[in-house]
Amino acid sequence: MVNLGAGGTGRRQRWADRQNARLRQEHEASLRRWQSEAELNEHYHALAIGARPLGPDQAPARLGLGEGEELYWTGSGAVLVECAEPVRMFRPGHTAYSPARRGGAYAPLYYDADASRDRGRVVVTDQRVLFIGGHIDRTWPYAALTGLVHSHRGAMTLMRVSHRQADSGLALDQRSGDEFRFYLSLAMAAARGDRPGFVAHLAKTVAGHLGERPAPPRHVWPRQAPAAATAAATWLRRSCFGPPGATTARQAVPVLIMAMIALWAGVVLMPGAADPAGRPAPAAAAGTPGPTPGPTPGPTPGVTAQGGPSPKRSPKRSPVRSPERSPEPERGPERSATPAGSPAWGSPSPSAVAADPAAYCEDLQNPWGYTFCDGEPITEPDAAFCDYFECVKNFWQSKGYVVQCEDGTFSKAGGRGGACVQHGGEKRTLYQEG
């Protein structure tokens, strides 16, 4: 048997210690996310078993309960939303609900001010969902319900009934939205006389999630460290071009600097070139005397910075650029195309380039369909986002769209202040799959 633990001193031991520390941190973060989902699943499973209808005295004043109708939930601050175009819906049923939003009738949903019709209270009974607004009342009877869809990044639910042409629904705050979805699913199961089936669905969800507990990381031994030459090459590559996944701008800056140094050296060492003080080079001074002495002009400003060809740059993936910009090489006296005082938004500058697409589109496991590939920038992440991913301290106080920092944490860019200032800088943007 090969003893992989042998040779655990010096560089190899330090490498193994770093790898094991990184693997432990990743496992602990995955375990925290898993534990958060497990607690959520168990909470709603227990609630489905023990929940009972509310008393008639807890019903809103304007609500008239029908004969045999039971009240399950009521909440305030709901916004009535109406869709101008049809929305892709899911069939109502047990599988449409998932506490952690890892399956079921969830999709990206957005609405603007034009879609808002009224604000008021929402009531869930075992026969219908009722909105009681300041100007509009609306009912969605379960008997006429043909489709529904939940937003997996917000707290909005759209419903389709057979007797109404336009799709409509409700938007609530995050906590009320989670409760509304649960009690809506529970009440519909009660209306079908299949509440035990809904409880069994949640029990299956709990059991399935328990089997997904993250396994402990493998231990890395010193003997597995790369050879010294390989390690040196890796260190040199990281020092010059940044870590894996670094932006193309971060990788291009050292190349541009080296190209400028080589160009400057070629100009200075060229026969007949003048030294920085403007005096002739020794080879030229040894020849025939020149014309009447006079001031010798120095190099033209900006020639060195603009003399070489600019490297090709790929366009930035996101349509909106973060205010935190990558460093650019110095340029000559070139007028900017952006007027003074204009905001730093709009078309990407030549230095705002994207990283290798393969590094952007790595697999990102999460229940909401967030990805580093193409999609829409995320300005309102799910309320459980920081339970699933590691966020910076002031994540929820920040404004803008979600980005990943160089150290792996998540922050927001586009609001006041720079993103990831204390976390190695901005690495890449997180998107919502279309």
Residue 219 within any structural domain of the chain: yes
Residue 345 within any structural domain of the chain: no
Mean pLDDT of 238-255: 64
Mean pLDDT of 253-273: 70
Percent of the chain with pLDDT over 90: 33
State residue 203's pLDDT score.
96
3-state class of 64 per DSSP? Answer: coil
DSSP 54: B
pLDDT digits (tens, 9 = 90+) for 46-104: 999 999 999 888 888 778 888 889 999 999 999 999 988 888 899 998 889 999 888 88
Least-confidence region, from 332-336, 380-384, 396-400: 332-336
State residue 346's pLDDT score.
32
Least-confidence region, from 185-199, 296-310, 395-409, 419-433: 296-310
Residue 245 within any structural domain of the chain: no
Closest by Cα among 109, 94, 106 to 367: 106
Residue at which a domain ends, from 161, 194, 225: 225
Q: Tell whether the model's pLDDT for residue 194 goes beyond 70.
A: yes
3-state class of 358 per DSSP? Answer: helix
Pairing of strands 145-151, 106-107: parallel
Element (H, E) at 369: none
Mean pLDDT of 156-180: 91
Domain residues for the domain of 74 are: 1-55+68-225
Would you place residue 397 in the very low, low, confident or very high pLDDT band (cuts 50, 70, 90)? confident
- Is the model more confident about 106 or about 317? 106
Percent of the chain with pLDDT over 70: 68
Residue 180 within any structural domain of the chain: yes
| 309's tokens | 């060809």
The 10 Å Cβ neighbour count of residue 101 is 23
Q: Which residue has the tokens 């997996």?
A: 152
State residue 281's pLDDT score.
46
| 257's tokens | 């600097």
Q: What is the DSSP string of 398-420?
A: --EEEEEETTS-EEEEESSS-TT
Mean pLDDT (the chain) is 75
**Residue 130: CATH number of its domain:** 2.30.29.30
Residue 267 within any structural domain of the chain: no
Burial class from Cβ neighbours inside 10 Å (0-12, 13-18, 19+) for residue 16 reads buried
Split into its structural domains, the chain has a count of 2
Residue 198 within any structural domain of the chain: yes
Residue at which a domain ends, from 169, 202, 225: 225
pLDDT digits (tens, 9 = 90+) for 293-350: 444 444 333 333 333 343 443 343 333 333 344 444 444 444 433 333 333 333 332 2
Residue 376 within any structural domain of the chain: yes
Task: Report how far residue 41's alpha carbon sits from residue 98's, in angstroms, rounded to the nearest whole number.
Answer: 8
Query: In terms of pTM, does the model score above 0.75?
Result: no
Task: Report how far residue 136's alpha carbon sits from residue 164's, in angstroms, rounded to the nearest whole number.
Answer: 15
Residue 316 within any structural domain of the chain: no
- Is the model more confident about 373 or about 215? 215
Residue at which a domain ends, from 225, 254, 281: 225
